[in-house]
Structure 1
Amino acid sequence: YRFVFDFPYFRFRANQNSKYFPRSPHNMSDTSDDDYSDDPLDADIHQSNSTNEEDEQQEGETFDTDLPTAHKYLGKLNTVSGYTIFDDGEVIELLAIHTKTLVFPGFTLPLVMNTQLEQSTMDSFLKKCNIFVLVCADEMGSRLYKYGVTMEVFESVSQNDTLYLKAKGRQRCKILPTKEIQHLGGRLQKVTVKILAEPAFTSPIACTQLLSLCSRRPHLFANYKDLLRSYKYRRYHLAQFPCASWVYDRNEVSFYVEHMLKQLVRFYLKENIPLDPVTLSYWFIQNFQLCHEERLHLMKLDSALERLKVELRLLERERLLCCILCKTEITRQSQVFAMSKDGVQSNYCNPGGHVYETVTVVKAKNFNLVGNPSKEFSWFPGYWWTIMQCRLCQGHIGWRFSSNHLQPRTFYGLAKSGLEIRILAKNQSNELD
């Protein structure tokens, strides 16, 4: 029978017994069902002596997490000047690109366009405006989702009939249903969008104090701990209102930022988590393992406070990352870690133009390694990549990255397109703990 594999380098179809699939032990690794695997690295890049490996582990150079965000595998790109922010509520006609991934304001999207139609169309639009809209499929996968994000190109180059570019998310927008969507071919459309506002957040008791007390007893705190320090006077002030004080506390943005941080430090380094409420609300969507429907729901919420309220509830249950075809468990939320300063989940592009939303994890199980390790077009400079496929159904689930001189020695980049998020019930989460 025949398999189709997705490489960061290319895609091809081959017979199982062909020269592309050597059966030697270091090329095909079978993992255990019971434990998460820390597979030995490939023989051609690792020493076999375990003592020497431990010594190297201590002496290895720590990987620079700034490198993945630079997307150096795209080559040398030319800087595009400008920083465009549209007015709230502005209606504008823009070029739209349809992908299988989501990018939120503040995060980067790499793109490769190697078809003549896409390249020429994109080039002509970029000469007029460096802004386009990133759109994706809706919950059913049958049509465009009505919300998107404006992206500004900040680096690009056209060479060898291929357009390489990097763009950064700027603002949320909504596709106007009354305007016709013009299909331009490939992944490109022309759409009319309305720029969505990011409302300023304030305290629910902001306008209830006497002006003379505002400077002495502030009501808006960026830090929830500062709010608690002045809680005595806050409680006196809230006594005049019908609801209990905790009701008003739960409408303070600082309350949700504080409780989000307490939960997120279980999975992420505290210094990597942003403290700004708006940035945190987008960072969570980009980095936490959410299913497509959850992410789409968060995208349409109007304010950071609304998003943080929902996100805090989403943090309560353990999540498993399973093969999208056979539902076999590959890893869990507790195994994720950051190999990029943007977080644990980033977008990367292969030469064929396919964008992969990739999550990096420490350990994984129920997979086979297929093919020889390669450094070509590696998303993590200094690491070799090897294809991972599900052990049960042979579906493509990502890549194992390995190095003999960098820390960590091994990690796994799982493709979200090959995974399904399974949310466990609370009693199941307790059993895992």
Structure 2
Amino acid sequence: MCFRRFYSNMKLRCLRPEDDENVELVNRVSLHDRDNGSVPAGPSTGTIHPQQGYAIDGLRNRFKLTYNIQLPSEHAYLGKLERVECLERFEPGSIHRIPVSSHHSIVYPGETIPLILTNSLLDFDGRYESSRIGLVFWEHSRQKRILGVVCQVCEKDVRESVIVLKTIAQQRFELVPQRDGALTRSVQRDGRAHYYAEVKILPEVLLPDPLASFCTSNMVKINNIAKNRLLAAQSSVWPKFVYDQYGSNEVLYKVRRFLEFLQIESVPTADPVMLSFWLARNIPLSETDRKELFFSNSVLSRMLLVNNILDYTCAFCCKKCDRRIANYVDMFAMSKQGVSSSYCNPSGFIHETLTVYRVVPKTARTTTKPSTDFSWFPGYSWQIAVCNACNNHIGWKFAATKRNYKPKKFYGLCGKSIRVASDRKVDDVDPGQHSGGGGGANPISNLRLTKT
């Protein structure tokens, strides 16, 4: 099955009669085209037949946001902040002493991280102020190695009892043990402990195409990359398909379709290193896969792991009772950062939040009244959402406070409270054979992502 047909069918299966916006769109498009005689009349159930190609443009309008996705990434709820001059990146392999703070989840380079600190952590030694802070992932160690990420402060504001920061994660690091074996040091100032550590900046290994060494000057003149690789493979020991298994061309093809599905345009596709981290943030991953991607120094290894993950569908389940809360096909990007971003509550706790259009019916309920205070999405009110089965906090329900905003409502799932569950590997099967109901299997289950 070709990618075009796959994603067209997938979007069609995503439409559910219980969604008021979907029903309105289906009826409007159906009546318009039926009156013009461009397509045959569809069934009276309010659904669209997969062969009715007229619905594709209508579906694009359904998934097109009217909300400015730039707003959430600005973290305006933090208030007015003062810009800080950015510093140059550290050299890979170099060792530096920086203030550190523990963090409960893995953060990938390129992500914007808001911080509200109850003490002046940046003034950690009393002699000078640092504009960098290290987030350490104590809960995600590997073979006694403790890793973290250097965050560059880009905006800040010092208030009465807290310091508010907006930072950008830049480089991965590993904690370097001191002579006595300790990983961190503390300095007591004003009755509070400030922690710092020696960190070693980890490299980002970008391997060249193994077929590049077989390319002759005549091949370089040919603009067709695929033809160049084929000619180069004929001069090597192994056939071309062997080299393709260790290349990123296949995963990039899948990624383009994934981005088309999410309607995301602002992606660092020109930088392979940042693209690998962007995919790690926005493709649903299990805790094991998240660690594997972060600990790998090889960009190619990350891309090959992403390539394997894209061959599976997934669901989002409650960590406490394992009940399915939302489906893969309901993800969308409410922020320019992608489908998953980090936001900070007034207490300073950072929530990694995944945005979905809806949850599975009767799986979640709200427990608070709508509020716009400290809203992560300007123009939307929020309510705390809990699992219907076990009352575990799973995230928030957001509702538009302005009439022209779309979506009118959506959910932000808390990364700390949900688990990514992989469904079976997708096969090349007609999607019409599977149920698209909210409580059933994923609508794109058993659909293999293959090129034709």
What's the TM-score, normalizing by structure 2? 0.73
Q: What are the superposed Cα offsets for residues 76-127 of structure 1, whole Å, 9 maximum, x if unpaired? A: 011111232011211112221111132222111001113xxxx133334694
Question: SS where residue 120 of structure 2 aligns?
Answer: helix
Contact 2:321 2:389 in 1 (8 A): yes
Pick aligned residue for 1:74 from 67, 78, 91: 78
Q: Distance in 2 between matches of 1:252 and 1:183?
A: 43
**Number of aligned residue pairs:** 365
CA contact (8 A) 1:108 1:169 kept: yes
Letter of the 1:160 counterpart:
E
Are 1:216 and 2:213 counterparts?
no
Q: 2 CA distance for matches of 1:183 and 1:358?
A: 32
- Is 2:306 the counterpart of 1:308? no
Q: Is the 8 A contact 2:281 2:340 kept in 1?
A: yes
Pair 1:190-2:190 in alignment: no
What corresponds to 1:128 in structure 2?
129
2:409 match: 410
Residue 239 (structure 1) aligned to one of 222, 234, 240: 234
| CA positional deviation for 1:174 | 1.8
Partner of 1:181: 183
CA contact (8 A) 1:176 1:194 kept: yes
Structure-2 separation of matches of 1:187 and 1:249: 52
Cα distance in 2, alignment partners of residues 187 and 290 from structure 1:
35
Match of 2:390 in 1: 393
Instruction: Report deviation, 1:427.
Output: 7.3
Question: 1:271: which partner in 2?
Answer: 265
State the superposition RMSD in angstroms. 3.1
1 CA distance for matches of 2:183 and 2:314? 37
Distance (Å, rounded) in 2 between the aligned partners of 1:140 and 1:373: 39
* CA distance in structure 1 between the partners assigned to 2:349 and 2:145 by the alignment: 20
- Which of 101, 125, 139 is residue 97 of structure 1 equivalent to? 101
Task: Quote the residue 2:225 is aligned against.
Answer: 227
Give the aligned residue type for 2:425. K
The structural deviation recorded for 1:414 is 1.0
Distance in 2, Cα, partners of 1:399 & 1:424 = 25
Shift of 1:215: 4.3
- Distance in 2 (alpha carbons) for counterparts of 1:363 and 1:36: 13
State the alpha-carbon separation in 1 of the partners of residues 66 and 254 from structure 2. Answer: 31
Question: Does the 8 A contact of 1:335 with 1:361 survive in 2?
Answer: yes
State the distance in 2 between where 1:81 and 1:166 align. 12
Which residue number corresponds to residue 377 of structure 2? 380
Tell me the CA shift for residue 345 of structure 1: 0.6
| Preserved contact between residue 180 and residue 191 of structure 1 (Cα < 8 Å) | no
Query: Residue 332 of structure 1 aligns with which residue?
Result: 327
Indicate whether 1:85 and 2:89 are aligned. Answer: yes
Question: What letter matches 1:101 in structure 2?
Answer: S
- Contact 1:135-1:145 at 8 Å conserved across structures: no
Answer yes or no: is the 8 Å Cα contact 1:37–1:364 preserved in 2: no
3-state SS, counterpart of residue 253 of structure 2: helix
Does the aligned pair in 2 maintain the 1:103–1:149 contact within 8 Å? yes
Q: Which has the higher contact order (CA 8 A, sep 6+)?
A: 1
Tell whether the 8 Å contact from 2:214 to 2:233 is kept in structure 1 after alignment.
no
Distance 1:36 1:96, change over 3 A: farther
- How far residue 164 of structure 1 moved from its aligned partner, in angstroms, is 0.4
- Give, in whole Å, the separation in 2 of the partners of 1:427 and 1:252: 22
Query: Residues 377 and 263 from structure 1, CA distance in 2 versus in 1: closer, same or farther, beyond 3 angstroms?
Result: closer
1:285–1:347 CA distance, 2 compared to 1 (3 A):
same
The percentage of aligned residue pairs carrying the same residue is: 29
CA separation of 1:398 and 1:36: change in aligned 2, threshold 3 A = farther
Alpha-carbon distance in 2 for matches of 1:302, 1:379 = 33
Question: Residue 55 of structure 2 aligns with which residue?
Answer: none
Contact 1:181 1:189 in 2 (8 A): no
- Unmatched 5+ stretches in structure 2: 1-15, 22-60, 435-440, 444-452
Deviation of the 1:187 alpha carbon: 9.8
Question: What amino acid does structure 2 have at the position aligned with 1:227?
Answer: I
Name the CA distance, whole Å, in 1 between partners of 2:196 and 2:367: 40
The aligned counterpart of 2:212 is 206
Which secondary structure does the structure 1 equivalent of 2:374 belong to? coil
Q: Does 1:370 align with 2:374?
A: no
Deviation at 1:198, TM superposition (A): 1.9
Residues 128-184 of structure 1: per-residue CA shift (max 9 Å, x gap): 32112112234489x986222111001111112111001101112222346522254
Name the TM-score, length of structure 1 as normaliser: 0.76
TM-superposed CA distance for 1:272, in Å, is: 4.1
**Is residue 432 from structure 1 mapped to residue 442 from structure 2 by the alignment?**
yes
C-alpha distance in 1, partners of 2:422/2:194? 34
Are the aligned partners of 1:320 and 1:333 in contact in 2 as well (CA < 8 Å)?
A: yes
Report the CA distance between 1:207 and its aligned residue. Answer: 2.5
**Equivalent residues in 2 for 1:54-73, closer than 5 Å:** 62-73=66-77
